[in-house]
């Protein structure tokens, strides 16, 4: 008892009869423990018994008189026994020393027979689920050993993608055990083994191929990406861990790698045994007998890390080589100017993005008193035929203000002008000016620029009819006509292109966008180089509020609860926005902001009713745009819905784009938004507002959040469809993106448009990055290197990419062509004279170099001795022969270095940069210095 402590390995002997299970254990039979080996876990002083774990994984309690401590020779089949009370630091240090000495180690794990059976059953279930496969023939020797084939499965039991029965199985525990072994070795590997353990691979399950498996498990086909990944893994692989689960055993044969001569070592691969091998010392061959499951993992050194030195060539092209889908093919329609007056006080795209893109604001307010006194119309209970809502997005302050003098309009005519005309004049001009035209140049020489306005309300004319305003006089007829809204701007700016106002209800302005595109691409007549598209809606008097409430169209809460379970109608919004389109290729350096990739319109035809939405027609409209642009659904990152906030309109729309976007499987979800939750329903101007938002999103490569999204509308059918309805801002996956918007008129006219853009607004974008950052990003996304597989030895393979076999100081020249393909070329360095003979200098010889002797049998190894003086420590350096020895010093990278595996520099060095040996005075240490080309190491041992 006195010599026993927790962690001691013992044998049970002398028990008078079988051990009985505890009272609450069901289905467990009495067991004869005599002769079983175990590890002591803790001592129960109250009961006077030891709690122990047997080698087969059972927990027992036993009287000390039945315990015998095991001697080391009784465990001759194992280098280590790893149990629940094994000390991590002690085992880790000793395991590293054994691996450094022998090149392999055999470890016994405590695994219950029931757990082993469960692991085999779990593996068979995975096989029945067709999870196993066969590796490529070229990879089998690296992953499975020489002359080996097997059906395999790379598994991460902790992953959310792992089947539930795996996460709950002992396989997850075994994976954790591998992680524990990796942690044990990590602190000791660099000093004992000469390399750092950086990470490990996942859990590899392997089972022998049966005769009936030949057709079921053909060898996998591989491409350059697979070959490059395999090459890097094999070059980083330092240790192989194999755990044998059973139920049968097998044989492991260790041999020198390559064609090395020497006797093979044969080890028994018994169940519950782990064999660890140093890959630079031994190759192995595994021969299982019968049904067998084995687990494997590989400990890896750090991946190669490079530092960019100098970027040469067309550096400006790096900004144009951003990642993500390319711009639309063929003749492009570029957006060269944008301006808006939208909800939340958004004057211009910067303020719009700040409010909607970053802050996700709710821009709706109560009806301003300066518009009208809403009190007399306020009828929340709907008993007087009034308006049951009092909110809207009144996004344009001082709507009646107008700079008539700038546009050369008399005060009298300006006074009678519809405020819609005033807003179109000002907003369209700012967009036109950003695109490169101004009033003065256009007065000198007219331009064939078109102007298209989408509007579906005529509040000003209704107010005149109701006697609220007086439009009599010479200018009255034009003051309230919607047709004049577009024509007046063309007249004022001397624009000769097509000019028209389009009313298709809610889809008006997006239909204008499509018509504008058609005019820009029409080349048979005088070419139209640009066009301005404007969409607007103003709320000037209470009539539409009362009318829409009478029809039950507006939300009782005064918001568009798009996609939310409380969706009960829409909220009205006020807005005015303009985009300048140009028929030219996208170039951000020439004022290009983004592109109109494609657009289409169609009609519902005869459906359930005149105003009922038609899902199939909406579906055809979206599909037509994808076909026009040549897009697959997975290339579209975001879709901006019409999403007015009705309980059934949203689900019908989602169902439409779901059918289109589900044609090809998606990895990333389709981001789904609705600007009406922020800025309400802009009615005739809503379509352009949604497209405007899409433009800002692709210019930032971010998707904006929806407001008022708390509980999903139960009518939304998105189960099984990777669709992400946003409640917060998300960054898009790459440096460019496509975003589409749909707009549907209540009379059945549908429109859809796709915007393409590159991140030109944030520091994440390639155009905003410094050349080195842009080059690194492009290099990381280059396609896999071409691998030439010469024979079965991966060390003989050739690659056009970064060679993982290169030394840390190797310099490379990297070429990236226009297609993003990278090619690495190794720079040949001038031969460096590292020395033919070596000397030791330090405090023991007063820094006078003394010659080292060459080792008798190890090439490149040189030996010398140092005797510790009275101070108890000695410093030293190694010096190479040749002229000017002060410039030919081998020294550590830090002063007073006591680490044998530290970085060794070669060149001039002060005496402070030296190795330090500590010991007792009079002790002698043998110093061994190894040097071959750039490879060098140093160690010292007490004699």
Q: In the structure, what pLDDT confidence band is assigned to residue 395 with cuts at 50, 70 and 90?
A: confident
Q: What is the pLDDT of residue 314?
A: 63
Domains of the chain, start order: 9-71 (2.30.30.30), 80-300 (2.60.120.620), 333-758 (3.40.47.10), 782-826 (no CATH), 838-942 (2.60.40.3620)
Nearest 5°: the CA angle 45, 49, 55 is: 130
Q: What sign for the dihedral angle of Cα 160, 162, 164, 170?
A: negative
What confidence score (pLDDT) does residue 318 get? Answer: 58
Phi-psi region of 244 (alpha: psi -120 to 50; beta: other; left: phi over 0): beta
pLDDT of 901 over the 60 cut = no
137-144 and 224-236 are packed helices; what angle lies between their axes, rounded to 10 degrees? 20
Q: What local confidence, expressed as pLDDT, does residue 751 receive?
A: 96
Helix pair 482-493, 419-434: axis angle to 10 deg? 40
Report which of 473, 455, 456 is spatially closest to residue 464, judged by C-alpha positions: 473
Max mean pLDDT among 316-325, 519-528, 807-816 falls in 519-528
pLDDT in tens, 693-719: 999 999 999 999 999 888 888 888 887
822: tokens are 């990278």
- 435 pLDDT band, cuts 50/70/90, is very high
- Provide the pLDDT for residue 424: 96
Q: Which of 305-319, 474-488, 835-849 has the lowest mean pLDDT?
A: 305-319
Is 695:594 a contact under the CB 8 Å cutoff? yes
234's tokens:
């094999």
Report whether pLDDT(299) > 60: yes
Pairing between β-strand 499-502 and β-strand 530-537 as defined by DSSP bridges: unpaired
pLDDT at 497: 95
- Of the two residues 697 and 826, the one the predictor is more confident about is 697
Beta carbons of 880 and 898 less than 8 angstroms apart: no
Nearest to 388 by CA among 245, 223, 511, 553: 553
Q: Is the pLDDT of residue 311 over 80?
A: no
Residues 6+ apart with CB under 8 A from 111: 56, 57, 170, 174, 245, 271, 272
Give the strand pairing for 670-673 and 723-725.
parallel
Residue 162 has, within 13 A of its CA and on its CB side, a CA count of: 20
What SS3 state is found at 564? strand
pLDDT of residue 221: 87
- Does position 768 have pLDDT exceeding 70, yes or no? no
Q: What is the pLDDT of residue 48?
A: 86
Indicate whether this model's pTM tops 0.85.
no
What would the pLDDT profile of 622-664 be if each residue is shown by its tens digit?
999 999 999 999 999 999 998 888 887 888 888 888 888 888 8
What single-letter DSSP state applies at residue 885?
G
What are 519-557's pLDDT values in tens digits?
Answer: 999 888 889 999 999 999 999 999 999 999 999 999 999
Preceding peptide of 247 cis, ω within 30°: yes
* C-alpha to C-alpha distances, 615 to 605, 633, 671, 743, 863, nearest whole angstrom: 12, 18, 20, 13, 85
How far is it, in rounded angstroms, from Cα 238 to Cα 244?
Answer: 20
Residue 827, pLDDT score: 77
User: 343-368 pLDDT, tens per residue?
Assistant: 888 899 999 999 998 888 888 999 99
């Amino acid at each position: 008892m006195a010599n026993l402590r927790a962690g001691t390995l013992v044998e049970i002997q002398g028990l008078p009869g079988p051990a009985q299970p505890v009272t609450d254990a069901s289905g467990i039979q009495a067991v004869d423990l005599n002769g079983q080996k175990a590890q002591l876990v803790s001592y129960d002083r109250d009961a006077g018994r030891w709690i122990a774990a047997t080698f087969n994984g059972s927990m027992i309690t036993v009287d000390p008189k039945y315990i015998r401590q095991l001697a080391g020779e009784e465990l001759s089949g194992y280098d280590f026994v790893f149990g629940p009370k094994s000390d991590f630091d002690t085992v880790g240090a000793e395991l590293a020393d054994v691996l450094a000495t022998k090149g392999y180690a055999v470890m016994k794990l405590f695994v219950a027979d029931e757990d082993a059976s469960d692991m085999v059953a779990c593996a068979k279930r995975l096989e029945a689920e067709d999870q196993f496969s066969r590796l490529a023939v070229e990879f089998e020797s690296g992953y499975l050993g020489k002359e080996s084939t097997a059906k395999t499965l790379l598994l991460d039991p902790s992953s959310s993608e792992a089947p539930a029965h795996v996460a709950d199985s002992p396989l997850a525990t075994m994976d954790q055990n591998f992680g524990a072994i990796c942690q044990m070795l990590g602190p000791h590997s660099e000093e004992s083994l000469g390399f750092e353990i950086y990470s490990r691979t996942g859990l590899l399950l392997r089972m022998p191929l049966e005769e009936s498996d030949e057709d079921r498990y053909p060898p996998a086909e591989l491409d350059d990406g697979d070959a490059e990944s395999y090459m890097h893994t094999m070059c980083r692989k330092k240790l192989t861990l194999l755990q044998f689960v059973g139920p049968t055993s097998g044989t492991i044969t260790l041999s020198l790698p390559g064609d090395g001569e020497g006797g093979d070592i044969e080890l028994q691969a018994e169940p519950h045994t782990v064999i660890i091998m140093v890959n630079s010392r031994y190759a192995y061959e595994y021969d299982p007998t019968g049904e067998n499951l084995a687990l494997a993992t590989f400990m890896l050194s750090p991946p190669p890390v490079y530092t960019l030195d100098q970027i040469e060539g067309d550096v400006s092209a790096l900004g144009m080589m951003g990642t993500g889908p390319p711009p639309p093919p063929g003749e492009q329609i570029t957006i060269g100017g944008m301006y808006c007056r939208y909800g939340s006080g958004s004057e211009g795209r910067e303020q719009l993005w700040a409010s909607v893109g970053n802050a996700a604001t709710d821009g709706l307010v109560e009806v301003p008193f300066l518009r009208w006194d809403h009190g007399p119309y306020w009828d929340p209970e709907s008993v007087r035929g009034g308006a049951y809502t009092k909110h809207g997005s009144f996004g344009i302050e001082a709507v009646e203000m107008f700079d008539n003098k700038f546009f050369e309009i008399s005060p009298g005519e300006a006074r009678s002008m519809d405020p819609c005309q005033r807003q179109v004049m000002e907003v369209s001009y700012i967009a036109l000016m950003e695109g490169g035209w101004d009033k003065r140049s256009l007065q000198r020489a007219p331009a064939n620029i078109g102007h298209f306005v989408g509007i579906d309300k005529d509040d000003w004319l209704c107010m005149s009819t109701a006697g609220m305003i007086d439009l009599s006089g010479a200018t009255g007829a034009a003051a309230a006509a919607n047709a004049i809204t577009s024509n007046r701007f063309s007249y004022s700016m001397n624009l000769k292109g097509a000019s028209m106002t389009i009313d298709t209800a809610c889809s008006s302005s997006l239909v204008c966008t499509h018509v504008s595109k058609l005019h820009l691409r029409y080349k048979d007549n005088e070419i139209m180089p640009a066009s301005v598209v404007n969409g607007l809606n103003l709320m000037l008097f209470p009539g539409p509020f009362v009318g829409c409430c009478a029809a039950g169209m507006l939300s009782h809460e005064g918001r568009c609860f798009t996609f939310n379970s409380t969706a009960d109608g829409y909220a009205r919004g006020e807005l005015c926005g303009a985009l300048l389109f140009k028929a030219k290729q996208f170039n951000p350096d020439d004022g290009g902001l983004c592109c109109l990739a494609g657009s289409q319109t169609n009609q519902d035809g005869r459906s359930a009713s005149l105003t009922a939405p038609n899902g199939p027609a909406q579906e055809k409209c979206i599909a037509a745009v994808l076909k026009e642009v040549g897009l697959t659904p997975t290339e579209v990152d975001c879709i901006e819905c019409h999403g007015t906030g009705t309980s059934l309109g949203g689900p019908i729309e989602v169902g439409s784009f779901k059918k289109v976007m589900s044609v090809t499987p998606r990895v990333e979800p389709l981001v789904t938004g609705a600007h009406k939750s922020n800025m309400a329903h802009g009615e005739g101007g809503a379509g352009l507002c949604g497209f405007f938002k899409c433009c800002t999103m692709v210019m930032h490569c971010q998707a904006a959040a929806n407001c008022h999204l708390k509980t999903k509308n139960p009518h939304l059918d998105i189960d099984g469809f990777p669709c992400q309805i946003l409640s917060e801002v998300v960054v898009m996956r790459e440096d460019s993106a496509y975003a589409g918007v749909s707009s549907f008129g209540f009379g059945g006219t549908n429109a859809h448009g796709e915007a393409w853009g590159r991140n030109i607004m944030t520091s994440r974008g390639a155009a905003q990055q410094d050349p080195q950052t842009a080059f690194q990003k492009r290099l990381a996304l280059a396609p896999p290197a071409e691998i030439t597989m010469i024979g079965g030895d991966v060390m003989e393979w050739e690659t056009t990419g970064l060679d993982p076999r290169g030394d840390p100081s190797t310099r490379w020249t990297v070429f990236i062509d226009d297609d993003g393909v990278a090619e690495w070329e190794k720079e040949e360095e001038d031969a460096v004279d590292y020395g033919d003979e070596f000397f030791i200098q330090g405090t023991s010889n007063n820094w006078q170099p003394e010659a080292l002797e060459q080792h008798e049998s190890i090439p490149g190894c040189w030996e010398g001795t140092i005797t510790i003086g009275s101070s108890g420590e000695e410093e030293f350096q190694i010096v190479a022969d040749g002229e000017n020895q002060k410039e030919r010093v081998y020294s550590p990278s830090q002063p007073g270095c006591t680490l044998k595996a530290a970085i060794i520099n070669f060149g001039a060095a002060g005496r402070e940069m030296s190795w330090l040996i500590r010991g007792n005075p009079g002790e002698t240490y043998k110093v061994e210095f190894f040097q071959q080309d750039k490879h060098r190491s140093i160690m010292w041992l007490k004699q």
